[in-house]
Amino acid sequence: MKRKFAAVVLALLVYAGWASAQEDKTGQFSRGADFFKEGSYEKALDEWLDLYNTGYRSADLAYNIGNAWFKLNNVPGAILFYERARLLKPADEDINYNLQIAKTLTVDRFEEIPELFFVRWYDFMALSLSSNRWARLSIAAFLLCLVFISAYFYSAKYRLKVLGFWLGLVLLFFSGSSLAFSLHNRKLVYDSSKAIIFSPVVNGKSSPDNSGTDLFMLHEGTSVFIEDQVSDWYEVRLSDGNKGWIPANSLEII
């Protein structure tokens, strides 16, 4: 009896601590919003970045950090956090609109190689729900699949056997697809290969050292794709397909 009581007390304390932490995060986000409304963009940014650095993630938080950077005329910072917000909420019109506005303020213009439609569709579907939600859907679909497969094997009725077989097959496919979306979502959000140039000007080199030949010049705010890393150098690919090496401290990974 005492053990059960202790367990209940411990659970209540854990919940109280979690609720208190959530309340603190909400309060900090609200304080930042108040500063932003007053025009105190630096104070708002301090509140939101402090919250972001604790590990808290949400599309609204990243979007508002992007807005604060934009108000402070920091274009690469705005683009970085708009991109991070879009990873969490890809269909949000405000995020996409503000991102496009910020990109019009960058210097570099490259001809983009069109992305295959099924790659865009796959990315969009994976980002439409969080990785954890896709994983839960995968588990639920798999458990239902086992139920219907059991009906196929153990039912004496022909119609029920056929229904169990086909529904089990569909649910198995859905479970596998959901798992694939969950893994792809995690890769896009937590292991992004896309980055934003933060240095005012940086030259893309033919090799990962300062003695390499200059291949192209990039300005702050430009989006690049990371292909490889050697020591303190990243090999980046531009939207037009060109590649070169730039110092790691000249960019921020999305």
Q: Mean pLDDT throughout 10-15?
A: 39
Task: Put residue 225 in one of left, alpha, beta given phi > 0 → left and psi -120 to 50 → alpha.
Answer: beta
Note down the domain range covering 212. Answer: 194-253
Instruction: Tell me the per-residue pLDDT of 39-65, one tens digit each, with 9 for 90 and over.
Output: 999 999 999 999 999 988 899 999 999
- Shared domain check, 185 and 209: no
Q: Helix axis angle, 59-71 relative to 93-103, nearest 10°?
A: 30
**Dist CA 7 CA 115 (whole Å):** 54
Write down the pLDDT at residue 191: 80
Tally the domains of the chain: 3
- Shared domain check, 185 and 198: no
- Shared domain check, 126 and 180: yes
Is the predicted pLDDT of residue 156 greater than 90, yes or no? Answer: no
The CATH number given to whatever domain includes residue 240 is: 2.30.30.40
In a domain, 108, yes or no: no
Who has greater pLDDT, 122 or 5?
Answer: 122
The last residue of a domain, from among 53, 71, 103? 103
List the strands of the sheet with 214-219, edge to edge. Answer: 214-219, 201-205, 243-247, 233-237, 223-230, 194-197, 251-253
- Shared domain check, 245 and 166: no
Instruction: Tell me the per-residue pLDDT of 175-226, one tens digit each, with 9 for 90 and over.
Output: 999 999 999 998 888 888 899 999 999 999 999 999 999 999 999 999 999 9
Of the pLDDT bands very low, low, confident and very high (cuts 50, 70, 90), residue 11 is very low
- Shared domain check, 10 and 97: yes
Write down the pLDDT at residue 119: 83
The CATH number given to whatever domain includes residue 65 is: 1.25.40.10
In a domain, 169, yes or no: yes
In a domain, 229, yes or no: yes
